[in-house]
Amino acid sequence: MNPQETIPLWLAKADDSLEAARDLLATGHASVAASRAYYAMFYAASAALCDQQKQFTKHAAVLSEFNPGRS
């Protein structure tokens, strides 16, 4: 897939995860909400990197790309 097709998919996943995080937090599931919030960030970061023609499958690679020198 090209970035124009992939970016909206990543962003949709980020939106879904963020909505789930809010719902979970509202029902008293803070630790699971934090996990969903993390995934929302990961998906949004993946979309941003995809816009720069960079794609990674591992979380550590995405984090490293945003914070060089620390992984």
Instruction: Give per-residue pLDDT as tens, 18-71.
Output: 999 999 999 999 999 999 999 999 999 999 999 888 888 788 888 888 777 765
CA angle 46/51/54 to nearest 5° reads 65
Q: Tell me the residue ranges of DSSP E strands in the chain.
A: none
**Position 12 in a domain:** yes
Structure tokens at 52: 């720069």
**Position 55 in a domain:** yes
- The span from the CA of 38 to the CA of 42, in Å, is 6
pLDDT of 3 > 80? The answer is no
Longest dimension (CA), the chain: 39
**Position 71 in a domain:** no
Asked if residues 62 and 45 have their Cβ atoms less than 8 Å apart, the reply is: yes
Q: What is the pTM of this model?
A: 0.84
Residues of the domain holding 15:
3-66
Q: How many domains does the chain have?
A: 1
- The span from the CA of 71 to the CA of 66, in Å, is 10
